[in-house]
Amino acid sequence: MTTDAPSGLIYLLATGRDKELVLRLHDDTVTVQALSSWMAEGVVKALTVSRFGDRDTSTYLINFRHVVGARLAPYSDTRTSSF
């Protein structure tokens, strides 16, 4: 578990959900191209993330087969909105 500053935000919209899951991303290797590939291939991927209000990180397994929308954004303490 690390307390390093997040490298960005990841917004995930899963099948059957009407709101995005917003996580602070602590993994510099995630790119738009990687997200696109994981979604197309239905990959299960482990990402290092933290939730707003938590100081520690955790490893979060995401089944990209069920992700219908994903986006990356720069990290900001005040950016918590979804669309």
- Find the helix or strand (DSSP H, E) in which 37 lies: helix 32-41
Number of compact structural domains in the chain: 1
The token pair at 11 is 């917004």
19 conformational bin, left if phi > 0, alpha if psi -120 to 50, beta if neither: beta
Q: What is the pLDDT of residues 34-43, one digit of tens each?
A: 999 999 999 9
Cross-strand pairs, 8: 25
Alpha-carbon gap, residue 33 to 39, rounded angstroms: 10
The token pair at 5 is 């500053």
pTM of the model: 0.83
Cross-strand pairs, 17: none
Q: What is the pLDDT of residues 9-33, one digit of tens each?
A: 999 999 999 999 999 999 888 999 9
Residue 26 lies in a domain: yes
* Structural domain containing residue 50: 10-73
Residue 32 lies in a domain: yes
